[in-house]
Amino acid sequence: ETEQDWRWDKGVCRFCGVGCGIMIATQDGKIVATKGDPDAPVNRGLNCVKGYFNGKILYGKDRLTQPLMRMTDGRFDKKGKFTPVTWDQAFDEMAIQFKKAYEEKGPTGIGVIGSGQWLIQEGYAMTKLMKAGFRSNNIDPNARNCMASAVAAFMQVFGIDEPPGNYDDIEYTDTAVAWGANMAEAHPVLWQRVIDRRLSHPEMKVVNITTFRNMTSEGSDLEIIIKPNTDTALLNYLAREIIQRDAVNQAFVDAHCVFCAGPTDIGYGMRATDKFAFEAEKDIQAREVEVTLTRDEAIGLGLDPEQVHTIAQSNTATAGKHWLVGFDDFKTGVEPYTLDFVAELAKGDSEESLDAFKAKLVRLADLYADPKRKLVSFWTMGFNQHVRGTWVNEQIYSVHLLLGKIAEPGNSPFSLTGQPSACGTAREVGTFSHRLPADMVVNIPKHRDITEQTWKLPPKTLNPKPGSHITKIMRDLEDGSISWIWVQVNNPFQHVANANHWLKAAREQDNFIVVSDAYPSISAKVADLILPVAMIFEKWGGYGNAERRTQVWREQVPPPGDARSDLWQILEFSKRLTLAEVWKEQAIPGLEDEGFEEGKLPDVMSAAQEMGYRPEMTLYEALFETPENKAFAWPDPVAKGHDNHTVKHLGVDWFVEKALFEEYAAFGRGHHHDLAPFDVYYQDDVRGLRWPVVDGKETPWRFNAKYDPYVKNGEIEFYGGAMKELVTGNLTGPTTQEKTKFPGKAKIFFRPYAAPVESPDGNYDLWLCTGRLLEHWHTGTMTRRVPELHRAMPAAVLDMNEKDAEERGLKSQDAVWIESRRGKIKAVIETTGRNRPPRGYSFMAFFDESVFVNKLCIDATCPISKEEDFKKTAIKIYKV
């Protein structure tokens, strides 16, 4: 047997939002090799070290191959031992427990957690099952803790989600600025394209704005080390400089932008719980009530904001509120952000001179303000995982809009994503607790109408109240208001901050937790029922990457044992419940405000019967096996060209994959989100297409008439419809009740600097930032099973400054306790590693469950996006 016998086929890397193409070789039902796809425009044959091991993640020794349930004496027992069961036993118990929670608590008593690792059809099917079937919006992806701030800002600024540019901007630009993005480790193939450009184009300058020296610094011309949380001030300095230097592209701004401001202190989304609940109770009517406390308000309640250990979500409506201001108001807002003020505030390396730091800020302003220079700003979790995550995303757009450096080749504000389908599934399909497909949301009646009509549901089936976001689902579990959770493609009990709370809630309270997983992750270990899943190339599927590129692959090998795809599991479970059980009257707190009589979701069964539904119909029959869907046949190119692939497809009816894709695509076609027909993506020579795909052509740059078929008015049009009625005001609040609409324009926001929610003090005296490393994917459940990757990076260490270590009597490789206000963990310190924090700062990757850094992190969220802040935890360390 030689390599000549291998069968090669196209695939997509599942390890980050870059979305590299890979080629997969199989032989005798096993993946034997993978390599970069030379025809893939994203990566042109290159992969990073994770990408090359896409095949090996399937073959870990402890792969889960059969359903496991906690049992004693043959019956489910929360305190019992994991015992192998059949799929029927698993689904039977899952349905019993579902009905118990649903009968007691209604649609708000259940929850689903997913991620941007769901395939497009999987995310869509689960969204439909939850929102249309169970009438619950308690579904949220891990994108909430990854990209939600970017989403919120896209919607606020442009009224439409996803970046206007694409990766080709790298080859057109003269400048790349990474803001809170260690691209060399987190987006390595894109970083390679940046480095290629820098080496082949002498004018190209690369800047790394970061809180610690990292691998991205190595390839940069300018490294700017800032204090945590000061990026908002730095962006206001840039805006001020652009104005002072007369570098505003006035014609562009006049034609395409309006200026906005909002409340200047929206708090930290703080909700005091546990030891503070007693004091807070008088102002917070119930634990479910969403509130925002400012620092002053927290103090007014007798709380020490530095000591508050659980931070809850806040009121989006208030936090996201904004109004129209004039250019002069904006100018007044940024006026205090002088070079002197911002340099003092933001200088992050105490050993660097203030003058040297100032010179760097001036150099940065030179690059942005130069009208001849094209510029791409990249950012990722450093911006997004931030208690001001939405603001800082809005601010980077403001800078690009002021300069007119947007929506054309080489000029682009570009938010990178972490998950392979954070865009294609988590965001666009509508898996967030507040969303519906194609950027629609549950709390707008027209959006619900469109969705109900597309899904052929009786009117008022959909629940108008945004559900719990991922952190709140965990809190609801702790509160007991949710008692049934299904986790797919995610490991939330390891990745959600303040993890000790959720682990305890899972194991010690009366609830039922189902986890679909390929390996015994932390989440699987705390579950009551584990469902074994088919992994990426053991099923057909598609992802959408960060440049709006939708890419697909075929099933290459069968899954081991009884493992089944997430989609199969969703569909099978939907056969266990009838319409009569879920489309009855449902009490939902707070629905009175949404115009629902007596605050209840109505019984829609009789209206449904008039439409042809029967009460005894299963949700599968009603939602997935519709006559229209059954009419879909499997695409010709697949059947004809690839008969040697496994085509059994593990029990998922053939029509379903295509039917779900086409049904989902119908939401976006004609509405700025057009996907190509399903079959097109499966053609052998197609390596993904960037939506909107109109008349067979993809759209490389949006909002620009040269490239975007949706631009109808002029050369540039921000057509997202963001311009709802805005009240005219000034920086401090509305002054005029004049309502104004500005179709086709983008918003330039003034947002002030705000102090972080938690800072080092005499007791907890170091900053901790968490993040990713090149070798491992997220919580490491897959990449730690690849021997080569595990050997390369066997454990997470705490990177810290050598002098900080010496001061504490420590040296590199010492074992230490790391303690925050939320818990403590043991790890080894490293002072000469690839990450070199300045004094007072430390870094740890979150891939290693044996170290478990998320027990330390603060679950403070951006009050608008509800994204957690993993970048700013106060810790202390001491020798073990």
Residues annotated in the binding site, as ranges? Answer: 13, 16, 20, 48, 50, 117, 142, 146, 381, 385, 491, 516-517, 539, 566, 846, 854, 871
In the bound state with ligand SF4, the residue whose beta carbon lies nearer, of 11 and 67, is: 11
**Near ligand SF4 by CB under 6 A, which window of 187-195, 358-366, 627-635, 848-856?**
187-195
Cα separations in angstroms, 862 against 269, 292, 392: 7, 11, 11
Cβ contact 35:47 at 8 Å: yes
From the list 50, 144, 564, 822, which residue makes contact with ligand SF4 (rule: CB under 6 A)? Answer: 50
Amino acid symbol at 553? W
From the list 10, 11, 18, 378, which residue makes contact with ligand SF4 (rule: CB under 6 A)? Answer: 18
In the bound state with ligand SF4, the residue whose beta carbon lies nearer, of 184 and 253, is: 184
In the bound state with ligand SF4, the residue whose beta carbon lies nearer, of 138 and 551, is: 551
From the list 10, 13, 114, 365, which residue makes contact with ligand SF4 (rule: CB under 6 A)? Answer: 13
Is residue 48 a contact point for ligand SF4 (CB under 6 A)? Answer: yes
Cα separations in angstroms, 97 against 455, 562, 727: 27, 22, 49
In the bound state with ligand SF4, the residue whose beta carbon lies nearer, of 97 and 417, is: 417
Q: With CA atoms as reference, report the closest residue to 206 among 397, 48, 367, 400.
A: 367
Establish whether 205 is a catalytic residue.
no
Q: With CA atoms as reference, report the closest residue to 646 among 738, 714, 591, 565.
A: 565
Binding residues for substrate: 846
Residue nearest to ligand SF4 (CB): 51
Q: Report the distance separating Cα 878 and Cα 809, nearest Å.
A: 9
Q: In angstroms, give the least distance from the CB of 128 to ligand SF4.
A: 28
In the bound state with ligand SF4, the residue whose beta carbon lies nearer, of 18 and 800, is: 18
Is residue 722 a contact point for ligand SF4 (CB under 6 A)? Answer: no
DSSP 435: B
Cβ contact 227:347 at 8 Å: yes
Q: Which of 418, 424, 744, 771 is labelled catalytic?
A: 418
From the list 16, 110, 195, 757, which residue makes contact with ligand SF4 (rule: CB under 6 A)? Answer: 16
Q: In angstroms, give the least distance from the CB of 15 to ligand SF4.
A: 3
Partners of 36 in beta bridges: 22
The enclosing H or E element of 194 equals: helix 188-200
Cβ contact 829:812 at 8 Å: yes
Q: In angstroms, give the least distance from the CB of 566 to ligand SF4.
A: 20
Give 723-781 as a DSSP string: ---EEEEETTEEEEEEEE--TT-EEEEE------SS---SSS-EEEEEE--TT--TT-T
From the list 188, 466, 520, 542, which residue makes contact with ligand SF4 (rule: CB under 6 A)? Answer: 188
φ, ψ at 816 (rounded to 5°) = -135, 160
Q: With CA atoms as reference, report the closest residue to 304 among 312, 291, 295.
A: 295
Q: Which of 146, 270, 782, 793 is labelled catalytic?
A: 146
Q: Report the distance separating Cα 803 and Cα 351, nearest Å.
A: 11
Q: In angstroms, give the least distance from the CB of 507 to ligand SF4.
A: 33
Q: In angstroms, give the least distance from the CB of 546 to ligand SF4.
A: 10
Query: Restricting to residues 291-350, which ones interact with ligand SF4 according to CB under 6 A?
Result: none
In the bound state with ligand SF4, the residue whose beta carbon lies nearer, of 50 and 673, is: 50
Establish whether 147 is a catalytic residue.
yes
Cβ contact 28:5 at 8 Å: no
- 445 three-state secondary structure: helix
Q: In angstroms, give the least distance from the CB of 117 to ligand SF4.
A: 12
Return the CA Rg of the chain: 26
Query: Restricting to residues 27-46, which ones interact with ligand SF4 according to CB under 6 A?
Result: 43
CB atoms within 10 A of CB 706: 12
Q: Which of 147, 800, 844, 857 is labelled catalytic?
A: 147
Q: In angstroms, give the least distance from the CB of 489 to ligand SF4.
A: 16
**Near ligand SF4 by CB under 6 A, which window of 2-10, 166-174, 186-194, 668-676?**
186-194
Q: Report the distance separating Cα 519 and Cα 537, nearest Å.
A: 16
Q: With CA atoms as reference, report the closest residue to 553 among 565, 568, 543, 566.
A: 543
Q: With CA atoms as reference, report the closest residue to 515 among 543, 486, 538.
A: 486
Q: Which x/- pattern, by CB under 6 A, does the window 87-126 give for ligand SF4?
A: ----------------------------------------
Q: With CA atoms as reference, report the closest residue to 472 among 436, 494, 497, 435.
A: 497
**Count of residues that interact with ligand SF4, criterion CB under 6 A:** 14
The enclosing H or E element of 390 equals: helix 389-403
Cα separations in angstroms, 534 against 56, 64, 407, 639, 657: 14, 10, 40, 22, 15
Q: With CA atoms as reference, report the closest residue to 161 among 355, 321, 330, 393.
A: 393
Establish whether 71 is a catalytic residue.
no
Is residue 47 a contact point for ligand SF4 (CB under 6 A)? Answer: yes
Partners of 840 in beta bridges: none
Cβ contact 270:308 at 8 Å: yes
Is residue 20 a contact point for ligand SF4 (CB under 6 A)? Answer: yes
Q: In angstroms, give the least distance from the CB of 170 to ligand SF4.
A: 13
Q: Which of 10, 11, 21, 50 is labelled catalytic?
A: 50
From the list 9, 10, 11, 15, which residue makes contact with ligand SF4 (rule: CB under 6 A)? Answer: 15
Q: Report the distance separating Cα 217 and Cα 45, nearest Å.
A: 25
Half-sphere exposure of 77 (CA within 13 A, CB side): 10
Q: In angstroms, give the least distance from the CB of 414 to ligand SF4.
A: 15
Give 516-560 as a DSSP string: EESS--HHHHH-SEEEEB--GGGS-EEEE-TTSEEEEE---SPPS
Is residue 389 a contact point for ligand SF4 (CB under 6 A)? Answer: no
Half-sphere exposure of 363 (CA within 13 A, CB side): 17
Cβ contact 361:237 at 8 Å: yes
Q: In angstroms, give the least distance from the CB of 794 to ligand SF4.
A: 19
Q: Which of 23, 270, 381, 800 is labelled catalytic?
A: 381
Find where tokens 């979701």 sit: 601
Q: Report the distance separating Cα 274 and Cα 497, nearest Å.
A: 16
Amino acid symbol at 204? M
**Near ligand SF4 by CB under 6 A, which window of 10-18, 25-33, 208-216, 617-625?**
10-18
Q: In angstroms, give the least distance from the CB of 214 to ligand SF4.
A: 16
Establish whether 480 is a catalytic residue.
no
Q: In angstroms, give the least distance from the CB of 468 to ligand SF4.
A: 30
Is residue 68 a contact point for ligand SF4 (CB under 6 A)? Answer: no
In the bound state with ligand SF4, the residue whose beta carbon lies nearer, of 47 and 217, is: 47
Establish whether 419 is a catalytic residue.
yes
Cβ contact 823:310 at 8 Å: no
Is residue 418 a contact point for ligand SF4 (CB under 6 A)? Answer: no
Establish whether 257 is a catalytic residue.
no
Is residue 19 a contact point for ligand SF4 (CB under 6 A)? Answer: yes
From the list 119, 146, 189, 552, which residue makes contact with ligand SF4 (rule: CB under 6 A)? Answer: 189
Q: Which of 121, 156, 419, 551 is labelled catalytic?
A: 419
**Near ligand SF4 by CB under 6 A, which window of 14-22, 348-356, 618-626, 787-795?**
14-22
Is residue 754 a contact point for ligand SF4 (CB under 6 A)? Answer: no
Find where tokens 């900080």 sit: 804
In the bound state with ligand SF4, the residue whose beta carbon lies nearer, of 57 and 235, is: 57
Q: Report the distance separating Cα 73 and Cα 371, nearest Å.
A: 75
In the bound state with ligand SF4, the residue whose beta carbon lies nearer, of 187 and 554, is: 187
From the list 11, 51, 67, 863, which residue makes contact with ligand SF4 (rule: CB under 6 A)? Answer: 51
Q: Report the distance separating Cα 857 and Cα 760, nearest Å.
A: 13
Q: Which residues bind ligand SF4 (CB under 6 A)?
A: 13, 15-16, 18-20, 43, 47-48, 50-51, 187-189
Q: Which residues are catalytic?
A: 50, 146-147, 381, 418-419
